[in-house]
Amino acid sequence: MGTAAGVGYSIHRNPAEAGKEAALKALQQAGIARPDFVFVFATVGYNQEILIRSIRAATGGAPLSGCSGEGIITQETVAETNFAVAVMVISSDELRFHNARVREIDQQAAGAGERLATAIQPFLAADSIACFMFADGLVFDFDPFLAMFEKTLQRESPLPVFGGLAADNWASKKTYQYHDDDVFCEGISCVVMSGSGAVAWGINHGCVPVGSTRTITRSTGNIIYEIDGIPALDAMKEYFDEDWKSQWNKTSLNLCLGFKTPEHIRQGYEEFVIRYMVSKNDQDGSVTIQSDVQDGTDLWIVRRDRELISGGLQAISHQIKGTTGTRRPKFILQFECVGRGKVVFREQEKMELTRSLQDEIGSEIPWIGFYSYGEIGPIANFNCFHNFTSVVTAVY
């Protein structure tokens, strides 16, 4: 049989109808009646429990994983709206999928890494290919999580991890993770893929630095308290709009932080890694990012560049095709930063860019993705966290 995959979407406002419509479209495209596995990405206008229950019913209760996003991506649409859901169904005698989840990850990143590694350990085999991970984008701290996750797995070479952080509608209030029938918050939904197959991927951010080098002078974990000896917010005020205090989401999307790419991944990546300032504290002037930093680290304020983003999508295509060669991917997952969607491009521009990438890799390939609060993908065999980035993963 090989592998059959299909994708469907819906923008119906009724959650039961939307879930059913998207699932049935996916099944029809795949040409199957009941899948072995289901990926779901949806926006937060829906009653999430009703939505997932509807999809589970339409797909025969097949194992399901996914999360909420700010928008969805398929071959047919790029929809950044409160009411949009995308479903991918997969049936395969080549690939195996096992899902797991952990809860209560806020302030417990290292513990979450240990618990999730323990949960997936029984599923790992010599032919395990990759892990797909969907974590709450409002509370996730990548570095301590990954360190304990990989330490607990004790693999000779790291299991490649791909994914995106769950998002909401810019409210930064609540995101959702999906595991079978369960819809939860402040957790991680995870999928281990094993079998006869491989992954190829491309990663690009398209940001440029503005201003001079700054230095972190006081920090703890993923919280930056001081830059150049003064509160972090004061150090960056010259770059902010006048309404930055009341419209932090807008400010942090227009400007973020760039750090020099670490030496061990520099040959496989761009000059800077990007970090989104997920929150601020007006009392102490600190900002919080989604990975840990150390005192003495240099940083730059960076902004998006439309031309670099456009050119970066071509680079992603070349990276993937350079690995797959003439082999056709079975399906593709795309994890796209919320800062690269409608806040930068008009609707038609955004659609044209996405379709150009799909046409380059293969417009007929089942394709699903979402707009996230952070992206995960390996660089030079090291699992890495990204912001303002596109991570495109092809399974072939």
Per-residue confidence band for 160, with pLDDT thresholds at 50, 70 and 90: very high
Cα–Cα dist 79/43, whole Å: 9
Instruction: Find, among 41, 37, 36, 35, the residue nearest to 19 by Cα.
Output: 41
CATH of 207-304, one of 3.40.630, 1.10.8, 3.40.50, 2.40.10: 2.40.10
Residues 6 or more apart from 129 whose CB is under 8 A from it? 95, 160, 193, 194, 195, 197, 198, 199, 395
Residue 251 pLDDT exceeds 90: no
Residue 267 predicted with pLDDT over 90:
no
- Laid out side by side, the sheet with 78-79 consists of 78-79, 72-74, 367-372, 331-337, 390-395, 199-204
> Whole-number mean pLDDT of the chain?
95
Given a cut of 90, whether residue 249 has pLDDT beyond it is: no
Q: What is the mean pLDDT of residues 62-82?
A: 97
What is the band of 244 on the pLDDT scale with cuts at 50, 70, 90?
confident
What mean pLDDT do residues 364-375 have?
Answer: 97
Quick check: 366 and 393 in contact, CB under 8 A? no
Q: Is a pLDDT exceeding 80 seen at residue 107?
A: yes
pLDDT single digits (tens) 6-63: 999 999 999 999 999 999 999 999 999 999 999 999 999 999 999 999 999 999 999 9
- Judge whether residue 253 has pLDDT over 80: no
- Binned at pLDDT 50, 70 and 90, residue 306 comes out as confident
Asked whether residue 82 carries a pLDDT value surpassing 90, the answer given is yes
0.75 exceeded by the pTM? yes
Q: How many residues does this entry show for the chain? A: 396
Instruction: Compute the distance between CA of residue 279 and CA of residue 373 in angstroms, rounded to an integer.
Output: 12
Question: What strand order describes the sheet that includes 161-166?
Answer: 95-102, 188-195, 128-136, 161-166, 375-379, 382-386
Confidence class of residue 163 from pLDDT cuts 50, 70 and 90? very high
The confidence score (pLDDT) of residue 106 equals: 94
Domain boundaries, the chain: 3-203+309-395, 207-304
Residue 130 has pLDDT above 90, yes or no: yes
Q: Could you report the per-residue pLDDT of 192-219, keeping only the tens digit for each?
A: 999 999 999 999 998 999 989 999 999 9
Which residue is listed with tokens 């201003």?
211
